[in-house]
Amino acid sequence: MKLEVVAFDADDTLWHNETLYLDAKGRYGELLSPYQEPGKVLQILDENEYQNVSIYGYGTKSFVLSMIETAIELSGGDITGHLMREILAIGRQMLSGEVQLFEYAEQVVAELSAGHPLMLITKGDAIEQGRKIEKSGLARYFHYIEIVADKTAEVYRTILRRYGLDAAGFLMVGNSLRSDILPVLEIGGQAVYIPYEHTWIHELAVESEIAKNGYYELEHLGQLPALIEKLSRM
Ligand SMILES: [Mg+2]
């Protein structure tokens, strides 16, 4: 089957994202340590984040609201303006930092763009993701760029329909089984899973959901061109 489009996830596939959250959570745990020990603080924060994603969506702004909510909860409503300012500073720093590309990211995207139309599909806040795409310097290699609220089979189907693309010729590369791999297999596309060591717990699919051998798995992006070369010849 001819590959029509090679699509990439962005966060933790082309550039670091989860490490920003890990750093932020470390600072936040310290900040709230007068109220609760850091491990417990982060556990409550995670629970609030999980609940809030369905209300506020993915992204740093949503995360900041969860940090504030957790601080109100843990301080028994006595959160100070000073603490609030510190929390806002954590979020602001996450949003204003440089985009740290993964090793091979630029090289691989540049190389593949010469042979295939590339698509970037990232989920989250449109302003935040748009800014990261711009800062990454990779936008010029992508023929299509899609920022979506979530990555479900229906969302992928809608994207393919919009551009008149056939699922069988669609290959998605990403670090999340739940968002990048399983929904793409569900609509009849192909997928390449490149696990990332810090993938957020919420992004991990239940083991039983994983289709055996339904997708390709690589250790790092640098191995992608050889796989695509092979698939193109099949
Ligand atoms: Mg990702």
| Cα–ligand 1 centroid distance for 204 (angstroms) | 11
Looking at residue 211, its pLDDT comes to 46
| Cα–ligand 1 centroid distance for 200 (angstroms) | 9
146 and 222 together in one domain: yes
226 and 183 together in one domain: yes
Q: Write the CA distances from 208 to 57, 125, 190, integer angstroms.
A: 26, 30, 19
- Distance (Å, whole) CA 85 – CA 102: 32
Looking at residue 99, its pLDDT comes to 97
Say what the pTM is: 0.89
Concatenating the DSSP letter of every residue in the chain gives ----EEEE--BTTTB--HHHHHHHHHHHHHHTTTTS-HHHHHHHHHHHHHHHHHHH-SSHHHHHHHHHHHHHHHTTT---HHHHHHHHHHHHHHHHSPP-BPTTHHHHHHHHHTTS-EEEEEES-HHHHHHHHHHHT-GGG-SEEEEES---HHHHHHHHHHHT--GGGEEEEES-IIIIIHHHHHTT-EEEE---TT--GGGPPPGGGPPTTSSEE-SSGGGHHHHHHHHHH-
| Cα–ligand 1 centroid distance for 9 (angstroms) | 6
Angle among Cα 159, 122, 110 to the nearest 5 degrees reads 95
25 and 105 together in one domain: no
| Cα–ligand 1 centroid distance for 13 (angstroms) | 5
Residue 80 belongs to what domain range? 18-96
| Cα–ligand 1 centroid distance for 176 (angstroms) | 6
**How many domains does the chain fold into?**
2
121 and 138 together in one domain: yes
pLDDT digits (tens, 9 = 90+) for 45-97: 999 999 999 999 999 999 999 999 999 999 999 999 999 999 999 999 999 99
89 and 139 together in one domain: no
- Distance (Å, whole) CA 153 – CA 56: 21
154 and 191 together in one domain: yes
| pLDDT surpassing 70 at residue 132 | yes
- Distance (Å, whole) CA 60 – CA 97: 12
Looking at residue 2, its pLDDT comes to 82
Looking at residue 234, its pLDDT comes to 73
33-48: average pLDDT: 96
128 and 60 together in one domain: no
116 and 155 together in one domain: yes
* pLDDT confidence band for 208 (50 / 70 / 90): very low
Contacts of 225 (CB under 8 A, 6+ apart): 108, 111, 112
| Cα–ligand 1 centroid distance for 177 (angstroms) | 9
Last residue of a domain, one of 77, 96, 115: 96
56 and 110 together in one domain: no
Look up the CATH number of the domain holding residue 64.
Answer: 1.10.150.240
| Cα–ligand 1 centroid distance for 79 (angstroms) | 33
CB atoms within 10 A of CB 141: 18
Last residue of a domain, one of 41, 65, 96: 96
pLDDT digits (tens, 9 = 90+) for 155-166: 999 999 999 999
Contacts of 228 (CB under 8 A, 6+ apart): 3, 6, 112, 115, 116, 171
Tell me which of 11-20, 72-81, 164-173, 205-214 is least confident. Answer: 205-214
* pLDDT confidence band for 200 (50 / 70 / 90): low
pLDDT, greater one: 36 or 207: 36
108 and 177 together in one domain: yes
50 and 70 together in one domain: yes
111 and 218 together in one domain: yes
Look up the CATH number of the domain holding residue 106.
Answer: 3.40.50.1000
Pairing of strands 144-148, 118-123: parallel
Look up residue 142 and give its two tokens.
């992508």
Last residue of a domain, one of 96, 124, 152: 96
